[in-house]
Amino acid sequence: MTMNRHEPFEELISASMSGDLTDLERGRLDAHLDSCPACRATLAAFAEQRRIMAGLRHVAPPRDLAARVRTSVERGRFVALPWWRRPALMFAGVGGSLAAVAGTLLALVLLNGSPEDPNVGANSPTPTPITTPSSSPEATPVPTPVPTLEPETTLPPVVTDPSPSASMVESSASPVPSVDPSPTTTPAPASPEPDVFLALTGAADNLRMTVQEPQPAGASPVPIAEVEQPSGPAIAAELSPDGQWLAYITELGQSGLNEVRVTRLDHREGSPDSPIDVGGTGVLGESMAGSPFTERLTWSPDGRFLAYSATVDNATDIFVFEPASGESQQLTDVGNAFAGSWTPSATDVQRLWVSTAGDEPMSYLVEVGEQLDEMPTLIDPAVDAAAVAEGVFQPLLNPAGHLAIYWTGRMELIGEVWLLVEGGAPILSEHRRDGDAFEFSNERPLFSDLTIQQDAFTSAAIAWGTDGDAYAIWDTQWTGESQGDDTLYPDPARVYFGHATDPRGLTQVHAIDADDLPEETSVVDVKVSPTGEHLLVTVRHPLPGDLSAPAADLLLIERNTGEEADIVSTLNFGEGGGWFGPAAFDGDPETIGIGN
């Protein structure tokens, strides 16, 4: 279980009704409301109730109201629910006037006080409260928000002073124009289920790989594409923004290498043609196994390009695949380059953060161009960069490009894999463009309760949710002693799930429940659903023998608060088992506000 991420904002919504918000609090609330339908509904309910109450005559509440409410509170009848969602039973006998109900609500607030964080996870300790520094006392009412495609997300204040630095860097690129954020239609509620997922079924000597869409319970699976000559189980997958191309990485047996592939799923009206037929699969290259840094697949926001890391002669460089031409091309030629993220753009010029591993990792913003035949080739990003960020490795931007998670620390080549060896830590920051400069600002450690000294990370896998706020981190490889209270922490077998707008950062209590995952399984891949409250987790089962077919479950996990257990279901199908996952979601540019 995890904390209810809406509760801090529910307090701000209540305070906004009377204008008791500071500028900082108002900005934080506005940013959250833009990306949270649940809290927008709460605000609308508050505003409607206030409108109704304004026209009512005053009726005094019953004299025993406070006693009855206090009795209900002491019995704990409603402790697990926000006060406005508690059942109407407690209002029985209060009176026939809505004004009396308003008195009841007020009494509840006065008796309960401000909401507190629920107990987070039966398997986790209670977090230490963090006090946020106060800001200007000036209060301004919050108007009813106008939904936007994607807010200019900012990180809330934290107590700890972030140590890493990634300062403003100069750029030769022209400013990116903004777009009108006002939507023309109300978006449909987000579904927790993936758009597609991979399935590898059959005997070990006759494996069949298909791309599947989730089916209703009891329905027979109908694949939307079949992959010819599957090379092995998939360990990473990313769907293009238009949902027509699935890029994925498969294991190549015990070779120590992975294979990068792409499969075309369908041809929608208005989409560009490609030499690769619908259902066709292209093999894009091989990459070194053993590091999540090489398992990064990143589509440009307009779906025009796919960037990935591939290994040639034991050297790692970045390649770019173009669906329109069906071809890929090598971008860098330095032997230690890794793909970061594309920056959102309202122009046809696409820009990619390229990182180089080393004693001091660096990141460079490279202008790729409008099409593959215009792309620079075999470049040294240190020479051809439009912007430079020192000490930043593999920045992963959220869908709107406003926030980033990146790595800092000294790196070394261990065997044939680049890993962090000193001071390795994931960092959460804002990612901003100011005129001709880019900035990773307001940085803070992603894990707020870890001390990074000799004990530090060597690597971990990270994924943003499409809501731009939720994220997951797993396969946390840590050196030195555990920093957990009574359990291993960080634990490579656990998934840590948090939200960028949570001022407490990521902590030990953000691990999903230990019993969410089957025993003796290991996490292969994690995706965060657009709901921001569900995870799609691919977990590998150990092989009972060398000739056994690989097996993995694809789990849909709904996170719950307090003592209520998470809800776990599986998207597997058939009786014979198989390897199910990873899952993938599309990144429709209209829903993430590219160009902001």
Which domains occur in the chain, in start order? 7-112 (no CATH), 169-592 (2.130.10.10)
Q: What is the pLDDT of residues 194-234, one digit of tens each?
A: 999 999 999 888 999 999 999 887 788 889 999 988 999 99
DSSP helix/strand/coil, 24: helix
Q: Which of 116-125, 157-166, 333-342 has the lowest mean pLDDT?
A: 116-125
pTM to 2 decimals? 0.71
State the Cα–Cα distance between residues 231 and 524, nearest whole angstrom: 17
What pLDDT does 210 receive? 96
pLDDT at 50: 55
Contact partners, residue 297, CB within 8 Å, separation at least 6: 236, 237, 238, 247, 248, 249, 260, 306, 307, 308, 339
Structure tokens at 520: 């003796």
Residue 273, CA distances (Å) to 99, 255, 278, 464 in order = 63, 35, 10, 30
pLDDT of residue 435: 66
Where is pLDDT greater, at 593 or 232? 232
* 457, 426 contact by CB (below 8 A): yes
Beta strands (DSSP E) in 386-533 are: 387-390, 393-397, 403-414, 417-434, 437-445, 457-464, 470-478, 496-499, 522-528
DSSP sequence for 29-72: HHHHHHH-HHHHHHHHHHHHHHHHHHTSPP-PPPTTHHHHHHHH
By percentage, how much of the chain surpasses pLDDT 70?
Answer: 71
pLDDT at 158: 57
pLDDT for the residue numbered 118: 30
pLDDT score at 186? 55
Considering only residues 315 and 142, tell me which one the structure prediction assigns the higher pLDDT.
315
Q: What are phi and psi of 289, to 5 degrees?
A: -80, 160
How far apart (Å, rounded) are the C-alpha atoms in residues 169 and 434? 10
pLDDT tens digits, 505-548: 999 999 999 999 999 999 999 999 999 999 999 999 998 876 78
pLDDT confidence of residue 456: 96
Look at 6-15, 178-187, 220-229, 480-489 and tell me which has the smallest mean pLDDT.
178-187
The pLDDT, as a whole number, for residue 432 is: 87
What is d(CA 317, CA 337) in angstroms, rounded to the nearest whole number?
5
- Tens of pLDDT, residues 369-408: 888 988 999 999 999 788 999 999 999 999 989 999 999 9
CB 352 within 8 A of CB 139: no
For tokens 């398992």, the residue is 295
Say if residue 81's pLDDT is above 80: no
Bridge pairing between strands 306-312 and 315-322: antiparallel
Total length of the chain: 596
Q: Are 404 and 430 in contact (CB under 8 A)?
A: yes
pLDDT bin (cut points 50, 70, 90) of residue 114 is very low
Place 76 in a pLDDT band, splitting at 50, 70 and 90: very low
Tell me the average pLDDT across 155-162.
55
CB-neighbour burial class of residue 502 (10 A; exposed 0-12, middle 13-18, buried 19+): buried
What's 81-103 look like in SS3?
CCHHHCCHHHHCCCCCCHHHHHH
